[in-house]
Amino acid sequence: ASIGSRALSPRKAIIIAVIANMAGAATGLAVARTIGNEILVSELIPRQLEYVPVMAGLASVIVWGTIATYYGLPVSITHGFIAGLAAAGIALAGSGAVMWGWGYRLSQTLAAVVTAPVVGFIGGFVVMAILFSNK
């Protein structure tokens, strides 16, 4: 869309895509590790039901992602998955199954939901200012 609307040249769009993809690849494993180990207290989830939070997280992503896309809303699939995971943990073992508190990842993730748009706006502004300074 950025190229078609001539907001960016193909070269500039590729540069932005490369930077974003490299950042995603560099942080992908850390995100997976956090989701797997630092949201729920796995000892409180019955062993025969360990798959349920993952399935609930996937279901929440499918439903929320579909609804948000239909209405053209911006959506974070990762945040939707974490919400489904936490909700399933609460349903299976109570609120003690979720690692609450500022020192835990769920609270940090919720804080990121608030701060990410601001940081993204500022970062996007800086990148665009740099890219268009040579024009």
pLDDT tens per residue across all 135 residues of the chain: 678 888 888 998 899 889 988 888 887 777 778 777 888 888 888 889 888 998 998 999 999 889 988 998 888 787 788 888 889 999 999 988 888 876 677 777 778 778 988 999 999 999 889 888 876
Name the phi and psi angles at 102, rounded to 5: -65, -30
Q: How far is CA 47 from CA 44, 50, 106, in A?
A: 9, 5, 22
Q: Which amino acid is at 37?
A: N
SS (H, E, C) 20-44: HHHHHHHHHHHHHHHHHHCCECHHH
pLDDT of residue 31: 74
Which pTM does this prediction carry? Answer: 0.62
Q: What are the residue boundaries of the structural domains of the chain, listed by start?
A: 10-132
SS (H, E, C) 55-106: HHHHHHHHHHHHHHHHCCCCCCHHHHHHHHHHHHHHHHHCHHHECCCCCCHH
Q: Which amino acid is at 57?
A: G
pLDDT of residue 1: 62
Report yes or no: 49 and 92 within 8 Å, Cβ to Cβ.
yes
* Residue 39 CB burial class (10 angstroms; 0-12, 13-18, ≥19): buried
pLDDT of residue 121: 92
